[in-house]
Amino acid sequence: MTLLETPRIHSAHEATAASSAPGGYDGRAIPADVAAWVSDIAELAQPAEIHWCDGSTRERHELLQQLVAAGTIEQLNPELRPYSFVARSHEGDVARLESRTFICSQDEADAGPTNNWREPVAMRAELTAVFRGTMRGRTMYVVPFSMGPIGSPMAKMGVQVTDSPYVVVSMGTMTRMGSAALDAIAAGADWVPAVHSVGAPLAPGEHDVAWPCNDAKYVAHFPETREIWSFGSAYGGNAILAKKAFALRIASVQARDEGWLAEHMLLIKVTAPSGKAYHLAAAFPSACGKTNLAMLTPSIPGWSVETIGDDIAWLRIGADGRLRAINPEAGFFGVAPGTSATTNPTAIDTLWGNTIFTNVATTDDGDVWWEGLTPTPPAHLTDWRGRSWTPGSGTRAAHPNSRFTVSARQCPSIASTWEDPEGVVVDAIVFGGRRASNVPLVVEARDWDHGVFMGATIASEQTAAAEGTVGELRRDPFAMLPFCGYNMGDYFAHWLDFGRRLRRSARVPRVFQVNWFRKGADGSFLWPGFGDNARVLQWMVERLEGTASADESPLGCVPAADGLNLDGLDLDDDRVRELFAVDPAALRVEVDDIERFFATFGERLPAELPRQFELLRARLDD
């Protein structure tokens, strides 16, 4: 087999015959196109053996014990953290690799200026070379999976092959993985092929390392043929290909072609004291508070927030004409540092057991620790590199991008409807980022097109979740900059067109922008955040109900003086004014920056967006 061959989109409809997998697959027949594809990959990668994953508890247990024996993970104290493990990655394999993530569309213009484009024939040749023999001495695991509840009309299927058992157990947490997914493919579901290798073949008798990986890394996407190829990394979204690679980059292309949205969004259910419930989808860049908001414990009485998803949402216009959404994932891959009983008590309760932690520190009694978990660190720890650590050593005990992987079913705040196959009705869409200035606490868009402008102009200070300079401001439209699988100018146009379709079918959701991170002149945060963010959600819900007052500002509608519930908060009038202050001069500079950013999309930029920033300029000049 050679990657220079041009494959087709994989569809079980085109392969009615069935074959047996090598060694059998629990007595099941394998869809012929899946079996043929696996055979082709095995011929190229040359694994020592092939294991077809069934997703069973027994299989997971055996893989975890295998990883313990290999030194990839170690089991934590079962009395403190039942059936939980910690992994320590290679120091060069700790985050998403945006610089090595490629969109291999046939036309470079279709990838757009925000993606790294590679010509697909040349990339196939390059990948053929690195994948040839890459799994020698290793087992190739075949991992069928579903993104979304199996049987949902909104779900999508995939099959990943990998030589990393760590990736297999992670996929088992993050997706509906195993026999049921393969049965859905056999019944006729289309599927996305995803190929992964750590890039570390073993010679006969060669001793393996605890975290095999390769200095050369690729995460390559072929949007026209719906393929993903990943080489060299075993970490997070580089290797758990169902997550960012499929659920966002490839799915965003599917969504454009099929008329829906694949978004980097959390989903929550907010219930007012009246008992009426609303659903909000919110887009924040990584490590900017998505998980905290998804698991919010409101500080105001009578309000509740339930979790549907913390990272990815797929949105469609339902049969009833209303906007509906599902969380396609089955687990949480959350950032550990900063997570505590104060900032996110629900997450802490979720992590009681059955969790895999990666690159956190461990305590002497066999539990986990990271910066922010407790106000004072323990007197001694083993750090994320496996070294002895004491306070004042000058290094971090846990990596800034250390993670936890845990089933969503364990979350105490998980909504009973989180796996509704039809999806939940979305009443509002929220955009946000980490901004020290210029962006108020909350703003409501004037209409859908203005909301798209809000989403397209999100900027956020860089975090440790990806490569780059921490703290540097970058434009991150819709929090999708690293995840949109095609030209973002076309993506903006798709959002605008989606709104026009919504207007023809049903009520269009309201759109808001939030910023929990605005700072005062003294450098301190103006807003208390965390549980008090429910006060902002309350204002949004009351705007939906038509009961909350608002004032016009150049940026949109903001709460009137009596609109935001501040009861019990120690916020003086000056701090409140600063939370919503609009500095026309500073915003004019920002608009100029937005104009330069938009110019990078050239003719692909829809005309509505330049019109929006001209309207904003006019309002700033009034």
Q: What CATH number does residue 473 fall under?
A: 3.90.228.20
* Banded model confidence at residue 622, pLDDT cuts 50, 70, 90: confident
Q: Any idea what the Cα angle at residue 311 is, between residues 309 and 314, rounded to 5°? A: 75
Closest CA to 397 of 380, 411, 410: 380
Going through 64-130 in order, the beta strands assigned E by DSSP cover 73-75, 85-87, 101-103, 116-117
Q: Quote the tokens at residue 41.
A: 């990959």
Query: Is residue 586 assigned to a domain?
Result: no
pLDDT confidence of residue 285: 87
Q: Quote the tokens at residue 40.
A: 């082709």
Pairing of strands 227-231, 356-358: unpaired
Can you tell me the mean pLDDT for 430-451?
Answer: 96
* Banded model confidence at residue 460, pLDDT cuts 50, 70, 90: confident
* Banded model confidence at residue 29, pLDDT cuts 50, 70, 90: confident
Question: Domain span at residue 494?
Answer: 262-330+416-581
Q: Any idea what the Cα angle at residue 229 is, between residues 225 and 235, rounded to 5°? A: 140
102 and 244 share one domain:
yes
Please, what sign has the CA dihedral across residues 199, 205, 211, 214?
Answer: negative
218 and 270 share one domain:
no
Give exposure, 447-463, as e/b (b: 16+ Cβ within 10 Å). ebbbbbbbbbbbbbbbb
Kindly tell me if the per-residue pLDDT of 477 is higher than 80. yes
Can you tell me the mean pLDDT for 125-131?
Answer: 98
Query: Is residue 604 assigned to a domain?
Result: no
Query: Is residue 230 assigned to a domain?
Result: yes
14 and 127 share one domain:
yes
Instruction: List, in sequence order, the alpha helices (H) in 157-287.
Output: 165-174, 179-186, 236-239, 251-258
Query: Of all helices (H) and strands (E), which one includes residue 429?
Result: strand 428-432
Phi/psi of residue 131, nearest 5 degrees: -85, -15
Last residue of one domain, picked from the residues 241, 259, 277: 259
127 and 61 share one domain:
yes
Kindly tell me if the per-residue pLDDT of 176 is higher than 70. yes
Integer distance in angstroms from the first to the last C-alpha of the chain?
A: 65
Last residue of one domain, picked from the residues 410, 429, 458: 410
Last residue of one domain, picked from the residues 259, 290, 319: 259
Q: Quote the tokens at residue 111.
A: 């990838």
Q: Exposed, middle or buried, 87 (CB in 10 Å: 0-12/13-18/19+)? A: buried
Query: Is residue 53 assigned to a domain?
Result: yes
Question: pLDDT per residue over 213-242, tens digit each?
Answer: 999 999 999 999 999 999 999 999 999 999
β-sheet with 424-425: strand ranges across: 261-263, 313-317, 323-326, 424-425
* Banded model confidence at residue 463, pLDDT cuts 50, 70, 90: low
127 and 38 share one domain:
yes
Query: Is residue 602 assigned to a domain?
Result: no
DSSP string, 243-270: IIIIIIIIHHHHHHHHT-EEES-EEEEE
Higher pLDDT, 463 or 517: 517
Q: 14: which DSSP letter?
A: G
462 and 325 share one domain:
yes
339 and 326 share one domain:
no
Question: Which residues does 122 contact at the CB level (< 8 Å), separation at least 6?
Answer: none
Q: 209: which DSSP letter?
A: P
Which range is least confidently modeled, 19-33, 117-131, 534-548, 599-613?
19-33
Can you tell me the mean pLDDT for 370-393?
Answer: 97
Phi/psi of residue 276, nearest 5 degrees: -80, 135
Residue 53: active-site member: no
Helix (H, G, I), strand (E, B) or coil at 49: strand
237 and 157 share one domain:
yes
Of 288, 411, 484, 557, which one is the catalytic site residue?
288
163 and 307 share one domain:
no
Closest CA to 175 of 142, 144, 221: 144
d(CA 335, CA 288): 10
d(CA 453, CA 608): 8
d(CA 148, CA 251): 12
Kindly tell me if the per-residue pLDDT of 573 is higher than 50. yes
**HSE, side-chain direction, 13 A CA sphere, residue 465:** 22
218 and 246 share one domain:
yes
Highest mean pLDDT among 134-138, 290-294, 585-589: 134-138
Kindly tell me if the per-residue pLDDT of 464 is higher than 60. no
d(CA 414, CA 346): 10
Domains: count for the chain: 3
Kindly tell me if the per-residue pLDDT of 612 is higher than 80. yes
For tokens 């291999």, what's the residue? 104
For the beta carbon of residue 604, count every other beta carbon within 10 angstroms.
18
Tell me the residue length of the chain. 622
Query: Is residue 593 assigned to a domain?
Result: no
209 and 130 share one domain:
yes
Residue type, 279: H
Q: Exposed, middle or buried, 187 (CB in 10 Å: 0-12/13-18/19+)? A: exposed
d(CA 335, CA 332): 9
15 and 133 share one domain:
yes
pLDDT confidence of residue 568: 94
Question: pLDDT per residue over 447-458, tens digit each?
Answer: 999 999 999 999
Question: pLDDT per residue over 349-366, tens digit each?
Answer: 999 999 999 999 999 999
* Banded model confidence at residue 471, pLDDT cuts 50, 70, 90: low
| 161 touches 140 (CB < 8 A) | yes
Closest CA to 313 of 225, 410, 411, 430: 430
Q: Could you write out the three-class secondary structure of 436-481?
A: CCCCCCEEECCCHHHHHHHHHCCEEECCCCECCCCCCEEECHHHCC
* Banded model confidence at residue 493, pLDDT cuts 50, 70, 90: very high
Q: Quote the tokens at residue 329.
A: 């994932």
CATH number, domain with residue 340: 2.170.8.10
Helix (H, G, I), strand (E, B) or coil at 233: coil
| 213 touches 198 (CB < 8 A) | yes
Q: For all residues of the chain together, what is the average pLDDT?
A: 93
pLDDT confidence of residue 507: 82
Kindly tell me if the per-residue pLDDT of 70 is higher than 70. yes
Query: Is residue 550 assigned to a domain?
Result: yes
Query: Is residue 609 assigned to a domain?
Result: no
Beta bridge partners of 461: 473
pLDDT confidence of residue 472: 73
